[in-house]
Amino acid sequence: MDLITLLALNAALVLAAVLLLWLASIPLRDISIIDMAFASILAAVTGFSLWLSPEKGPLQWLLLAAVLAWALRMSAHLVRRNWGHGEDPRYSRLRDWVDNDRAFTWLSLRQVFLLQGVVIWLVSLPVQVGMLAPAGSGIGWLAIGGAALWLAGLACETVADIQLTRFRADPSRRGTVLDTGLWRYSRHPNYFGELCVWWGIFLIACEAPWGALTIIGPLAYSHLVINVTGQRTLDKKMAREKPGYRDYMAATSGLVPWPPRRRA
């Protein structure tokens, strides 16, 4: 199994998965099912890459364990949060871009499903390359450091999601800003944890030859989370909708947890 073949086969796997989800979204009238399936597709790419790998040493099993543990937690969280609540409003607003359902069907394929497929393939690059590490590739200091960063990130996003879920479930806090727990030190500790997970996986993959070249994966994911679909977009939305959020932004770190500044 050479690298180019593995990358091509995984691209085909991801394409098949997002096309099936796209077809399912048409009768369901819910394109947000791609969000609930995001982690599962990444787990499938990881398992498929291990199955195709001629070597199955400690490095490969460490990568598999890291991705599966993350995917199980992420999938459980997203399904519990989204199941039965209909289409995410972010996606529903896309329906206003076109005049009819047929046009929206093709728009959703281009703007959501195929784009998510590209993101999944890019994010999984370190895992794909790491799975082709030659025999004798053990757990070195890079992998140990990566595993520590992964564990810290997983813990951070888990705690942040629990705190946010409890906050949203409290009717007395409706319309207010979550600024306690991890959210006192970062406006987006869940995003910070998510990026730590994938930068940690990248460091683990750096034990393999050519692993360092897969830095495009975590770089692209960081750009999307910070500048496109995550931090900046959510900050703008929250600043419009919640009184006091601008003061919270002025006092609190955007991503990396840091002691808050004194508010005016």
For the chain, the structural domain boundaries read: 3-251
pLDDT top residue among 175 and 225: 225
Which stretches within the chain are classed as H helix? 3-28, 33-52, 58-82, 89-92, 101-108, 114-123, 125-130, 141-169, 189-205, 216-223, 231-241, 245-251
pTM beyond 0.75: yes
pLDDT recorded at residue 263: 59
Q: Do residues 153 and 220 lie in contact, with contact meaning Cβ atoms separated by under 8 Å?
A: no
pLDDT recorded at residue 85: 73
Integer angstrom CA distances of residue 58 from 71, 202, 205, 231: 20, 16, 12, 35
Query: Is pLDDT at 92 greater than 90 in this prediction?
Result: no
pLDDT recorded at residue 221: 97
Query: Is pLDDT at 5 greater than 90 in this prediction?
Result: yes
Q: Please compute the mean of the pLDDT values over residues 51-61 and round it to a whole number.
A: 92
pLDDT tens digits, one per residue of 227-255: 988 899 999 999 998 989 999 999 999 99
pLDDT tens digits, one per residue of 95-120: 877 888 888 899 999 989 999 999 99
pLDDT tens digits, one per residue of 150-170: 999 999 999 999 999 999 999
pLDDT recorded at residue 1: 65
Query: Is pLDDT at 191 greater than 90 in this prediction?
Result: yes
Structure tokens at 201: 């996986």
% the chain with pLDDT above 90? 75
Query: Is pLDDT at 51 greater than 80 in this prediction?
Result: yes
Virtual torsion, Cα 201, 205, 207, 212, nearest 10 deg: -110
Q: Please compute the mean of the pLDDT values over residues 67-78 and round it to a whole number.
A: 96
pLDDT recorded at residue 41: 97
Q: How many whole angstroms separate alpha carbon 139 and alpha carbon 192?
A: 25
Q: What is the rounded average pLDDT for all residues in the chain? A: 92
Q: Please compute the mean of the pLDDT values over residues 192-209 and round it to a whole number.
A: 97
pLDDT tens digits, one per residue of 13-36: 999 999 999 999 999 888 989 999
- For residue 264, what pLDDT band results from cuts at 50, 70 and 90? low
Q: Do residues 254 and 231 lie in contact, with contact meaning Cβ atoms separated by under 8 Å?
A: yes
Phi-psi region of 175 (alpha: psi -120 to 50; beta: other; left: phi over 0): left
- DSSP assignment, residue 97? G
pLDDT top residue among 52 and 100: 52
Helix (H, G, I), strand (E, B) or coil at 212: helix
Q: How many whole angstroms separate alpha carbon 218 and alpha carbon 38?
A: 16
pLDDT recorded at residue 72: 97
Q: Which of 85-99, 123-137, 147-161 has the highest mean pLDDT?
A: 147-161
Query: Is pLDDT at 140 greater than 90 in this prediction?
Result: yes
